[in-house]
Structure 1
Amino acid sequence: MGGPLGRVALLLAGVLLIAGCGDASDPLVASSPGSAATGATESAAATGATPRKPDVSPVQLRIPAIQVSTPLVGLGLHEDGTVEVPTNPDRAGWYELGTVPGQPGSSVILGHLDSLDGPAVFAELATLRVGQDVEVGLSDGTTVTFRIRRIATFANADFPADLVYAGSRGQTTLNLVTCGGEYDPDLGGYQANVVVFTRRVAA
């Protein structure tokens, strides 16, 4: 996923983030037409400092309904302010400047839809259904379970960055993002994003 997406600026008010889509050789790129700052990202943008790493971090993602079980890589920001994406299409990545899955706030995990070699880790993400579960294994050995509440496809230009990256409204949420929609090589690749919205299941 990639495409002719604008670069983003680090602003004192926050960091602008979106996941966009492009050609299959680079199937997941992050950019940002909307504002969606998290506390850690705001602090980093304002001070130039690297946020302190959390004591616990997500290390494994499991989605039983589509037989996904993958280690998670950490994703930060490129120098131009765009969000990093997994270099391996078979691995998903957690946006580590955001919320740790299981803590109050919006956590975001991004994964590729496909690559030049075929389907990638989130190839079947759009086939998920409301009510199915997503599990995140943490570095302390515990597992946090989330239940799918909504699945939506957004055109690249209409990606709701605020909602995805900072729209938890006090809830403990996890949002999964990949490419979707029509693939148009003349326009840079996939023209939409699939977002799976989940909320933590009470222990």
Structure 2
Amino acid sequence: MTDRTTVPAGRRAMGAAAGALLIGLLLGSCGGGDDDPSAVASSGGSKPAAPATAPAGDAKPLPKSPPKTISIAKLGVSAPVSQLGLRPDGRIEEPPLSRPNLTGWYKLGPTPGETGPSVILGHVDANKKQAVFYRLKELNEGDQIEVTRQDGTTATFSVISKQDVDKNAFPHKKVFGETLDHSSLRLVTCGGAFDTSTGHYKSNLIVYAKLVQSA
């Protein structure tokens, strides 16, 4: 597959939105196959930290640079970021279940810190164990997310809202192709009830955040 991150920003955003609209089941295998998540084992982790206070206002968007790692201090998350594209059937790729701490950036959209919506996906559980975004639902407005980039900069985002949506009503255009004048980050994982008949969760959890600082 051609890496479409090389096309101009406007065309890239349009392509990302068009491709995302074809997605059927986003992160369909978050449940780790046919296992009931009630059997998920605790992986420990740090205790929640006090919510961070975000600086007022938006930060100036950064130039293009792919992400390397993502850190969420409140959740004890520190994880590498891979690159995801689209499958031949139009569905988005997802991080392999064999690497539950690996997240994935949708490479057909803006890089984290660029103007527009950048999307990072991660599993909630895998192989009966907690995965990288298991505690994503605990994030609240003002909590911070840090993304280190290949150019050596760190983009800091502040959570502004979160949304739990049925997979059949996933807001593809808003998440992947919304027209923005600032830098936004969207984190996506599975959520809601687990359907034992399909082995998948019935909904997706989306966390929306905006760039507030870069260094």
Q: Calculate the TM-score normalised by the size of structure 1.
A: 0.76
Out of 12, 18, 23, which is 1:14 matched to?
Answer: 18
CA offsets, 1:149-191, max 9 Å, x none? 0011001111111111012522210000000000011144210
**Cα deviation, residue 123, structure 1:** 0.3
Q: Are 1:147 and 2:154 counterparts?
A: no
Give me the CA root mean square deviation. 2.1
Give the letter for the 1:14 counterpart: A
Residues 124-139 of structure 1 correspond to what in structure 2 (within 5 A)?
Answer: 124-139=135-150
Which sections of structure 1, spanning at least 5 residues, go unmatched? 1-10, 28-53
Paired residues, number: 166
**2:64 and 2:114 in contact (8 A); partners too:** no
**Cα deviation, residue 74, structure 1:** 0.7
Q: Are 1:72 and 2:72 counterparts?
A: no
**1:92 and 1:121 in contact (8 A); partners too:** yes
**2:186 and 2:206 in contact (8 A); partners too:** yes
Give the letter for the 2:175 counterpart: V
**1:21 and 1:192 in contact (8 A); partners too:** no
Give the letter for the 1:195 counterpart: I
The equivalent of 2:170 in structure 1 is 159
2:72, 2:158 → 1: CA distance? 10
Structure number with greater CO (CA < 8 Å, separation at least 6) is 2
The equivalent of 1:116 in structure 2 is 127
Q: Calculate the TM-score normalised by the size of structure 2.
A: 0.72
Q: Tell me, what secondary structure is at the counterpart of 1:194?
A: strand
1:148, 1:120 → 2: CA distance? 20
Structure number having the greater strand percentage:
1
% identical aligned pairs: 37
Q: Tell me, what secondary structure is at the counterpart of 1:201?
A: strand
**1:23 and 1:185 in contact (8 A); partners too:** no
- Residues 189 and 132 (structure 1), Cα distance of their counterparts in 2 relative to 1, 3 Å cut: same
1:75, 1:162 → 2: CA distance? 17
Which sections of structure 2, spanning at least 5 residues, go unmatched? 1-14, 35-62
Give the letter for the 1:24 counterpart: G
Give the letter for the 1:75 counterpart: L
Q: Tell me, what secondary structure is at the counterpart of 1:19?
A: coil
Give the letter for the 1:66 counterpart: L
- Residues 72 and 20 (structure 1), Cα distance of their counterparts in 2 relative to 1, 3 Å cut: closer
Give the number of the structure whose alpha-carbon radius of gyration is greater.
Answer: 2
